[in-house]
Every structure is written in structure tokens, then in C-alpha cells.
Structure 1
Amino acid sequence: MEPTPFSRQHHARFLGAGETTIVLAHGFGTDQTAWRHQAPTLAEQHRVLLFDHMGAGRSDLTAYSPRRYQSLRSYAMDLLILLEELALEDVVYVGHSMSGMIGLLAAVEEPSRFRKLVLLGASPRYLDDEGYEGGFTRAKLDGLYRAMQTNFHAWASGFAPLVTGNPDQPDLARDFAATLGALRPDIALTVARITFESDHRGDLPKLTRPTLVLQSQADIAVPMSVGTYLADHIPRAELQVLDATGHLPHWSAPGQVTRAILSFAVSA
């Protein structure tokens, strides 16, 4: 399939071939290379679409505007434009972290574009609320923003090992710090605020597509209670707890994540 102007802006590319298209959408601080462990195996049986969100990876930074990207809904609209230009419908969408809600919002807006959704380490709200444990207090988020503004690269180096967990695999933190540190600091701060200040709990019941919630056993950014909340409030959702820790289980337990995606993609 020939690239379109919009797909070129997002460095979109296809791998493999097959009747089913699996869309892999990366989370905050990474880019499409985050799926390096999953994409080749998935592409053996399916067509795989990889892309970079605007502002990340090899996306066209000249097309980035903070006026346009003021909420996750802006990224959801990007996703829908991308699928439309590439004439894609009935896709299996896999969204990590912030891309979980991006995909959910897009599927609520245009359900025919989606067959199923896989939400990996996703959250409808990161900030604690009365009767809801999101993982972050207001003080923690404000401190995070201050640290990003004060010395972005020092913050990235310290934030990466906390988020990836798995101190016995230091390469995970190194790799995450590299993609996180490659972001333009002003864009990174804007996306962080958009993500961590979002609240899409009210959108969960609107999702009509079968959904697999993949949750790490221990995730500093998305606690187990959030995975349970997603499964309880999305009508056709099931929760699968991975034998993994950290916010990037597709890196720390890549085989488990790949098998879960494949199994769900082909299930009835």
C-alpha cells in the first residue's frame, strides 16, 4: 500500500501480510521501535501497522502544534485519519500506556474501524480520586512536572528505571531513557500533562468492541487496581495479568505479550 501524506508525517509502515491488520501504538516516552520484540513475530501471520505519534520518533515535527494537541482526543483523531487514509477497517488495535485511551476514544468515535482492542498498561485516569487509586497523587505529578522543566535529561535518566522496574535488566531502563530523552523537552512536558491529567473513566462504558486488558503484576504508573477498573467498566473486556513487572512488559516479558496478542487476535 502506497504511503499517504499523513502516514508519512507519522512514519507509518507495514510489515508482513494477512487478512488481519494489527495496529501497534506506542506509549509516552517511546516510539514504534518499542514493538521490536512483537512486530516480527506478529508479521509472520498478519499485516502489522507501525507508526509514531506526532512529536515522537521519526514523526514530522514541523507538523506538531501545541494548539492542536491539547488532549488525547487529538491523538485519537490522528489515529482515525491514519486508518482512513490507509483504507483500514476491522483492525486489531494494540495500545500501550497513553495509546490505550487513544485507541478507546477512536473506537468509540468510529467502531467500524476496529475489530478488537488490546490495552497494555493503559489507564483512564492516573491521578488518585475519591474511591479510585490511579497511582499518582497531586503532589507527585506536580513534582514530576517541575523536574521535567528544571532538567529534562536528568529527569529522564531518573524516571526511566522507576517506570521500567526490573533492576536485574538495566538495559530496559537504558533503552527507555534513550527514547524518552530523544523527545523535544517542551513536547514531552505537554504530552505528560495531557496524559497524566486526563480522565476518561466516563468513556469506558461506550466501548462496544471486545477488549483485552493486559496488566503487569507490579506497575508504578498503572497499579493493579486500574487494570481491574478497566475490565469492570468496559462492557466486553477481559483482564489478563501478566507474569511481569514494570510499565513496559512488552520489553520485560516480550514473549508473554506477543502470545497474548496473537491468541486474542485470532480468537472468536
Structure 2
Amino acid sequence: MLTSPPATDYATDYKIWTWKGFQIAYQSQGTEGPAVVLIHGFGASFYHWRKNIPELAKTCRVYAIDLIGFGRSAKPIPLEQIDYTFETWSDQIADFCQEVVGESAFLVGNSIGCIAVMQAAVDHPDIARGLALINCSLRLLHDRKRVGQPWIKRAGAPVLQKILKQKWVGDFFFKRLAQPKTVRQILLKAYGRSEAVTDELIDLLMGAAKDEGAAAVFVAFTGYSQGPLPEDLFPKLPCPAIILWGEKDPWEPIALGKEFANYPQVKKFIPLPGVGHCPQDEAPELVNPILQDWIAEQA
């Protein structure tokens, strides 16, 4: 079901798709060519693809969707109304392809969006023509990843997750985190190109942080240390994949990411020099041609 979006003070043109009774926001552009669906990372939204959509839309039908819990999409109460897991987002992406896109698509993800599109392709092979994974989340806080870490990290992360689940603590922590100055500092660490951290970007990311339920979603996902790891999903992929990786990513080290190139499903691993965790936003002039060429080769 599609309806017109509510008026907001910072959103541009977007559409609403109703999924399981919840409003899901997305943008679309382009009228010809293969379908491409773009999936953002943690704390982001379809706005993180604003530098990619117009260029890709020259030859493709492009859709950028907000995962439930993020951006302008609904933020249902964790556990009571919905589980914020990759299986949930997998179903959302698959249903979007079937109900809105109307056919299988090339799925492009950044960070945790990579895990979401891989899970979608594994669970629903008919909706994925190919995957492009940009700085895939390594899920270093996963329970299985902590086994070989120093004891302070093994013990500290679960304790912090448990503390944050106390509502007043989680709300307080999120309120302190969701400040323009703090968001800017985080982005300046994550981005290899500081000039890409603009006031516009911060305003767009801050918008959803004001929504009711945003803090609960943040706490729910930071406490999610189970579910799939990328190495669980790569062997099961039913379609080819390429990987793009910013060499200056401080969160997802490229040295670890390069190991994914060994899976036969991965056709290319492309390092991006001087770029951090979000290459699609930092260096669209590098990312867009790679995506366009890859889609043209596969289409």
C-alpha cells in the first residue's frame, strides 16, 4: 500500500510503503533499466545515497529504502512489536522487491546494510540478481567474535549492553550521543575525507534521532550480538557479489575485509584509497562508475 508522506521540515521527496502495518520510507528515481535497491548502514537512511541515486538512475531504476527502525521509517517497540534482526530486514527487503519494485534487483548495501542484503539474498534467492557490498560490517561485537579478544573486551561489551537496556540509562546515553557536535566527531573519525562531513549530512542524520522510539531502536541493535556473520552468509549466496572497501575505515579494517575475497561468490574486491567507512557518500565519483559498470556487466 502506497500513500503520500507526511510533511516534515527537513525531508525532501520520498514515498511511503506500508509493510506489516508500519510505514516504510523510500526514494525512487529512473524509469528504464534494471532495478537497483540501496540499503543504508546503522543510524543512517536513504539520504546516505543522495549522491548516488541520480547518477545510477541514468541507466537504472533506483530505489533507496529506510530499514524499519531507521530514517523516516516507523520505529516499532523492540520485542513487543518487532524484532530488530537481519532476518526481519531480510523479509522487508524481499517484500519491497516483490510489492514495490515488482521484480528481482541488484542489491547494494553499506556497513550493516551489507549483512541485510546478503541475508535477503540467502532467504529469498529469487529477489537478488547480484550484490554490491560497501565496507561490509564485520560484526566485531558478535558473541562468536569476542572469543579471541582480551578479557576486558569479552567482559566489558556484555556488561555495557546490559546496562544500556535499562530504559533510563539507554535514553540518557542516546540523548548525549544524538547531538550535532557528537555526530560530527563520530563522522570525522569514520570518514577518510573530512570535507565530506557537512552540515547537511549531520542535519539529515539527526532528523530521525528526534523520532519517538529512536532511542529504543538504538539500544536494541547495540545489544544484538547474535544472528549471522558475513562468513556465514557468503558461502550460501545464490548470486555473484562485488566488494568495495574504503582503505581508511577505522571500524571495519580492510585487512580483515580482504579475507572475503576468497569466497567464490565474490567476483571483485576493490580497495578505495583515502576513503573511510561510507565510500558512497565520501567518494561518489569513485563508487558510482564501479556500480554502473558492474550492473551493466551483469544485466
8 A Cα contact 2:47 2:204, kept in partner: no
Q: CA, structure 1 residues 241+213, in 2 after alignment: closer, same or farther (shift >3 Å)? A: same
State the structure with more CA Rg: 2
CA RMSD of aligned residues (A): 3.0
Of residues 120, 134, 140, the one that matches 1:106 is 120
Taking the TM superposition and a 5 Å limit, the aligned residue runs for 1:72-111 are 72-86=86-100, 88-111=102-125
Q: CA, structure 1 residues 169+108, in 2 after alignment: closer, same or farther (shift >3 Å)? A: closer
Q: Residue 238 of structure 1 aligns to which amino acid in structure 2? A: K
Q: Residue 223 of structure 1 aligns to which amino acid in structure 2? A: P
1:152 to 2:174 alignment: yes
Taking the TM superposition and a 5 Å limit, the aligned residue runs for 1:62-211 are 63=76, 65-67=78-80, 68-86=82-100, 88-127=102-141, 128-129=145-146, 137-138=153-154, 141=157, 149=170, 150-156=172-178, 157=182, 158-171=185-198, 174=202, 178=206, 181-182=209-210, 184-194=214-224, 198-200=227-229, 201-211=231-241
Equivalent residue for 1:263? 293
CA distance in 2, matches of 1:217, 1:55: 29
Taking the TM superposition and a 5 Å limit, the aligned residue runs for 1:234-245 are 235-245=265-275
Q: CA, structure 1 residues 233+176, in 2 after alignment: closer, same or farther (shift >3 Å)? A: farther
Q: CA, structure 1 residues 26+87, in 2 after alignment: closer, same or farther (shift >3 Å)? A: closer
Q: CA, structure 1 residues 254+153, in 2 after alignment: closer, same or farther (shift >3 Å)? A: farther
The worse-fitting range, judged by mean Cα deviation, of 201-210 and 183-192 is 183-192
Q: 1:114 deviation in Å?
A: 1.0
Of residues 19, 44, 52, the one that matches 1:6 is 19
Q: CA, structure 1 residues 97+161, in 2 after alignment: closer, same or farther (shift >3 Å)? A: same
Q: CA, structure 1 residues 71+234, in 2 after alignment: closer, same or farther (shift >3 Å)? A: farther
Q: Residue 99 of structure 2 aligns to which amino acid in structure 1? A: E
SS, match of residue 136 in structure 2: coil
SS, match of residue 79 in structure 1: helix
What is the count of residue pairs matched by the alignment? Answer: 262
1:228 to 2:258 alignment: yes
Q: Residue 159 of structure 1 aligns to which amino acid in structure 2? A: I
Q: With the length of structure 1 as denominator, give the TM-score of the two structures.
A: 0.84
SS, match of residue 121 in structure 1: strand
Taking the TM superposition and a 5 Å limit, the aligned residue runs for 1:240-251 are 240-251=270-281
CA distance in 1, matches of 2:29, 2:159: 40
Q: Residue 266 of structure 1 aligns to which amino acid in structure 2? A: A
Of residues 215, 234, 242, the one that matches 2:245 is 215
Equivalent residue for 1:51? 65
The worse-fitting range, judged by mean Cα deviation, of 116-125 and 236-245 is 236-245
8 A Cα contact 1:124 1:198, kept in partner: no
CA distance in 2, matches of 1:143, 1:30: 26
User: What stretches of structure 1 of length at least 5 have no aligned partner?
Assistant: none
